[in-house]
Every structure is written in C-alpha cells, then in structure tokens.
Structure 1
Amino acid sequence: MKLKGELKGVYPALITPFKKNGEIDIAGFRNNIDYVIEGGVSGIVPCGCTGEAATLSFDEQKRLLETAVDQANGRVPVIGGSGSNNTREAVELTRYAMDSGATAAMLITPYYNKPGDAGQLLHYRTVAENVDIPIILYNVPSRTGINMKPSIVAELAKIDNIVGIKEASGSPAQTAEIIELTRGYKKGFTVLSGDDNLTIPIMSYGGKGVVSVAANVLPKEVSQMVAYYLKGDQKKALDVYYKLAPIMRGLFIETNPIPVKAAANMMGLAAGPLRAPLTTMAPENQKKLQAMLEALGAVKKKVAVKARAKK
C-alpha cells in the first residue's frame, strides 16, 4: 500500500502480545490489528517502543512486520518501526520493512551512543539514501537521551523520502518551531504528536494527528477526537479530549507499555506478560487503572474480533 497524500489521523503504536511461554501471540496480534482498524484508526505502527521493540529479535521484528502487513490487507497504511542505534542495523530493518510491504518506516533517534547534530544527520541520510521508502523521524528524548533540534528536523525534512516526524519531546514550543520551519516545504512534511495528552495543542499549531498509545485500547474514541479537530469542530474535539484525559495520564503512571498492556488485559484484548526487565504493574496502580476504564465503560466492552484467516 502506497502512502497517498499527507499523514493525518490516529496511528496506534501497537503493543506486542506475548504468550505465557514468552513467544509472540501472533493470533492475538492479528485480533488487535482488526480491533483498532474497526475502531477507525488511520494506520498502524508495529515494532515501536510501545511494542517492546528493544526486547525483540530481528526475526521477531520481521515476523511482526509481515503479519501486520498481511492482516491490514490494504485497509490502512502500516508504518513499521525500524530504528536502531546502529545505522547499519537501521538500514537493514528499514529495508526489510520496505520488502515486507510496509507503507512507511518510523525510525527513532539513535539511543545510548547519543550522536550529536552531525551524527543524527548522517544516520538518517544514510537510511534514506539506501532504502526507497517514506521515512518518519521519531524524536523521544526521554527514551534516547538526546533531543533532535528543530533545525536538524528541518534539514532532514528536505530529503525527498523523509515525510514526517513523531514528535515526543513533550515540548509544544519545540513542536511549534518544527512546524514553523517546515510548513513552507512544497513536498509537505507532517508533524504527528508522540504524546496522547499533547495531541490537541500540537494540532492547534498545525500538527495532523497522533501516534497513540491510548488508541490500542480506545481506538474509536481517540479517532473521534482527532477527526473532530481536523474537521474544525474544536468543541467536540475538546469534549472527547477531557473525557479521555484521565486515562491518557493513567497509561503513563508506570513505564510505557506496562499500563497499556495491563489495560488491554483488563479489556480482553491480547496483551499477555511483559518482557524483562519490565515487570507487572503494581497492584495499587492496577486498581487506579481499572477504575479509569470502568468510568469510561471500557472494561464492559466485548472485544469479539476474529482474525482474518491467513492464506
């Protein structure tokens, strides 16, 4: 599926469900994909931070990408997480995302080795030059230890196949500067919020949606919020936002994706355990999260979505 026009809407950063024995629950992953697509999302993002990509082997990442493309079956774009702090590995994973049929690839800034401006430019340019697929930058300093400056984003946005950014710096001012610096580009460059609770502020600056954690469990509601805003109905968008605000905060009371996987388990979605070193959510936080979901009526939902049979 080719990327048609600019990115806009809601793109859930998919959780990776595991079985008790630690293996990936492929059937559950397929069910979850159908659940979010039927909830009205604009696309899906497998193998990101929320999908515990740091604990996945190359083979597991490749299998998830293949499964996501197969299950989406052209209904929505698949944006494969293919980042690494090793540029050669990032090229390999991004090439595999392309070969698997993904619509685009999302690459986190190199973590741990913390490259400076020149290193960040080198990293993304190398991937973009070696893999012919639309690329979305992903800036999340709380995870990587580095912040990609708006000036660096603007420089990278000049590259033909770098088409957008998931901006999760937590700074609306920084996000606004990125939009300011790139809004005149003829090819277009899309800024998506990387934080659910900052979606409305970022869209007010010109952002086009969100790569969402909450949409794993509440795809319909998050999609409604963004759709209202894109249509110009700010009041309805804010009504949905404030309804969801407690759960958006609740999904980060512990390290992501611990809370969202707990919420998915509570709702009957496929989630299963976490991979070490992440641990089960503290009992007191589980109670808080359960109460938030009950307030929304979410735990009463019956998730009865059957996976499309693989040919």
Structure 2
Amino acid sequence: MTQLTTDARGVYVIAVTPFHPDGRIDMESCDTMVDFYLNAGATGLTVLGMMGEAPKLTVEESRDVVARILARVDGRVPVVVGVSAPGFAQISTLTRMVMDMGAAAVMIAPPSALRTDDQIVTYYRQVAELIGDVPFVLQDFPLVTSVQMSVSVIARIVNELPTCVCLKHEDWPGLEKISALRRDGVLNRRISILCGNGGVFLPEEMVRGADGAMTGFAYPEMMTGVVRLFDEGRIDAARDLFDAYLPLARFEQQPGLGLAIRKYVLAKRGVIAHDALRKPGAALSAQTRQEVDVLMTRLDKRLKELN
C-alpha cells in the first residue's frame, strides 16, 4: 500500500463500524460498505475514527476490522487508521499493527489534558519520535477533544515534523484557520488539508484552500461530486449539488445523534445490514426516523430535478 503524502486530495470517507443488533461486529457489512464507498468515488478511507466507534472496540477487534477493510480495499485506495489513545503504548501497538497490514497512514488526535501550546507541540514531537517514519494525520477537532490548536501551533508541528503530511481540519468555525494556514510563509511546505464536520462547510472550505474532505456522511457521493466539480472549475454546479443534500447533512450533524442518523440512512440504502450502535449509543425515536425518511424522499426529488 502506498503511504499517504502531502499531495492527498479528494474524499477520504470516515467509515462506520457495522454491528449486529447484539453488538457483534458485522464483517459482511464491512465488505458491502467498502464497495459502496469506492463506488461513490472515495479517494481513500479512514477507519477507526471518532465516528467509527473506535473507543468501543478492543485492540483485537480493531485489528480484525482493519484487516477486513484492507483486504476488501485490496490496494485500490489509501486507508488511514485512527490510532488515538490515552497512552503511547497503545498508539505504538496500533500503529505498528495497522502499518504492517498495509495502512497508508495513521491519524492522531491530541488527548484532552493538553492545554498550552508547548504541551501540544511537545506531545506531537513525542508521537513522531514514537512512530518513526510513519506518516500521520494531525486531527484538529476541538469540539470533541477540548484542545485548542491555533494556527501557530499547527505551523510549529508541521514545520518541525516532516511525517505530519495532512491536517484533518475540524474546527468550527474554522474557515479563517484554513486561509491563515495557506498564506505564504506560514508553513515551510504545503501539506494536505482535508476537512470534517460531515461536509456541511465543504464548498467554503474548498474555496479557502482545502484539498477535500475526511469525514462521514450517509451520501458520500455528495462530497466526491462537490470536490470533482471544484477540480473541474464548475463552482456553481458544485454548490448546486451541495445545496440539494444540505437539509439532510444538517440534520445528520446533530450532536449526539449524528452517527445514529448516518447508520440509519446507510441501512436504509442497503449499505449495512443493521443501523445498530454498540452500547453506549443513542437510539433514534420513531419520530426522528420519520423525519429522516421525509428528508431522504425530498432529496430524491431534488436530485431528479437537478438531472
């Protein structure tokens, strides 16, 4: 498997982890999910991210899920694996394991105990030393980690650590951060910036200088379509496509319910067999499911109008 580089562009879909209703991992659905994401035009996949319920998996289960997905991908696209953990021992073990299996890079978020700029930079220096020449994605997701990474801190990490090849930008609001990082002289090299938050700011992020998305949405074809149209210079068409999906993307972005909504839609689309979350996890009410059904129906109508 080719390693991830600073040229990474497109859509690296954050994969869900499919479960049976009794909590067992649904490996067959891992296969159909990979096929679906690739058919939707995904440039790469990211597994064991925060929306992949990674903290609910044992190390052995993490290994098995990554192995199954890598086998199904079969080298067609790069696969990034989240290895964030409270301690370095687990990060080191997971990194060696997934890279030996053929992962393209690892993604690492800062632990919530970090507060000062120097603490954050020191942490990533130690991470880079720990994992050696393995390329890593710097995950900036303060709404979940509670760690605020300023432009200057990100610049210090990127400029000092050549194995940091990509920023997963998930600050909110964060458009100004993208612009600041793209200004001449801020970074000593251009790295990939892939954005999160369910793609709800994707057109604006692309205008600001992002290279695409590294996030999940139950309709990844929206994200791959938007990036493709931007690359073709068809900005208005990209915005029109985005606008069609926006009501559902907005609804999926609800804190605490987003993953349950995403899995419900993926199950309805036949991508995974069940919409189960491993406990603890939110369950959708009958009314919420009905609201999602309405949004999906309206989306189908809007797409027919666009075509």
TM over 0.5: yes
Q: In 2, distance between residues paired with 1:153 and 1:282?
A: 40
Structure 2 residue aligned with 1:122: 122
Q: In 1, distance between residues paired with 2:187 and 2:246?
A: 33
Q: In 1, distance between residues paired with 2:259 and 2:49?
A: 10
Superposition RMSD on alpha carbons, in Å? 1.9
Structure 1 residue aligned with 2:290: 287
1:189 to 2:191 alignment: yes
Letter in 1 for 2:259: P
Q: Per-residue displacement from partner, 1:245-289 (whole Å, max 9, x unpaired)?
A: 111101123523121011112222214311222121122221111
Q: In 2, distance between residues paired with 1:115 and 1:92?
A: 26
Indicate the larger mover: 277-286 or 163-172.
277-286
Q: In 1, distance between residues paired with 2:31 and 2:72?
A: 6
Gaps of 5+ in 2: 302-307
Q: In 2, distance between residues paired with 1:279 and 1:168?
A: 22
Structure 2 residue aligned with 1:33: 34
Indicate the SS of the match to 1:50.
Answer: helix
Structure 1 residue aligned with 2:231: 230
Structure 1 residue aligned with 2:212: 209
Moved >6 Å (runs of 4+):
none
Letter in 2 for 1:291: V
Letter in 2 for 1:275: R
Shift of 1:184: 5.1
Letter in 1 for 2:245: L
Going from structure 1 to structure 2, the CA distance change for 1:242 and 1:179 (only over 3 Å counts) comes to same
Indicate conservation of the 8 Å contact 1:176/1:202, yes or no.
Answer: no
Q: In 2, distance between residues paired with 1:234 and 1:218?
A: 20
Q: Per-residue displacement from partner, 1:144-177 (whole Å, max 9, x unpaired)?
A: 1122111111111121110011111112122322
Identity %, equivalent residues: 24
Of 162, 171, 177, 2:180 maps to 177
Indicate conservation of the 8 Å contact 1:106/1:136, yes or no.
Answer: yes
TM-score, length basis structure 1: 0.89
Shift of 1:244: 1.2
Indicate the SS of the match to 2:44.
Answer: coil
Letter in 2 for 1:149: S
1:136 to 2:109 alignment: no
Indicate the larger mover: 85-94 or 73-82.
85-94
Indicate the larger mover: 18-27 or 248-257.
248-257
Gaps of 5+ in 1: 299-311
Structure 2 residue aligned with 1:264: 266
Indicate conservation of the 8 Å contact 2:213/2:223, yes or no.
Answer: no
TM-score, length basis structure 2: 0.90
Q: In 1, distance between residues paired with 2:68 and 2:150?
A: 34
